[in-house]
Structure 1
Amino acid sequence: MDSLKKTIFARSPTRRGATDLLNPEWNEKATFCYRRCIHEGNMQQAFTCLITARKGDSDKKWSDAARAVRHFLRGKAVNGIAVEIIDPRLYQGLALSSCTHEDAIYHVRSEVLHQILEKIGFERHEFGEPFPVQGHTR
């Protein structure tokens, strides 16, 4: 992958996207496979360069990086290829958990909840269940 990134950087007209590939947060892996867009189930699978890369909180553009990879591959006579960049956290799914003692909001959560319920027109019942206030209905 390192030589691929260096070659892309050297030859790409979209150097910003190629520069992103050289950043350590992009240092994952690239595989070639056949994939189909989940929104276009009736389409044929496309030959795809699939790059898994963890992206941090930044303004880097994955679309520029994907174009740089595609441009490089087309320069090597690999035509008709799609490039997809996926953060591996996508496969982990969403993990929800309740508020814990370590969370900054923990010690003020009751007051915050009260303010939210008051703002949307609900009061708290003694068991913590919201009930409508003054003619407001769910």
Structure 2
Amino acid sequence: MLFSFILLLCEALIKSYQTWYKGGVFKLYFYIKKANKEFKLFQEIFKELEQINSNILEGILNNKQLLLNLLNTHKDYKPIIENISHNFDYVLKHFNLIEEWLLSDDFNEKYKKENHPYPSLLDPKKLNDEKEEINYTNIPA
């Protein structure tokens, strides 16, 4: 966990240094504050996980902004945040499909507005269709 915080701080320092001629040094405080906020969000997700392997950390760094936007969109819907944290490796592997479903109007209507206790990470309609890339016949339990 400390390693990811150090990476976020280094990113803030690099941003500040790259724009030193525009007053980046004065913006350093705000960059560090933003890094701290992002770290706290990641910390909430991973408090249930005891150990983060390098593949998960690499996936987080590659999809950091997209993941933050997705988590921020659903921050008030705790069941989906828990579902994402429990299946984090799978979410990173199929991020585009999951993001498309979680940002859809169908998901909001069927799960989020009703505060459904067991939200699906993938669209159930697409999972029933055998022509889809991911369906009930080719995904692990």
User: 1 or 2 for the larger relative contact order (CA 8 Å, sep ≥6)?
Assistant: 1
| Greater radius of gyration (CA) | 1
TM-score, normalising length from structure 1? 0.22
TM-score, normalising length from structure 2? 0.21
Q: Which has the higher strand share?
A: 1
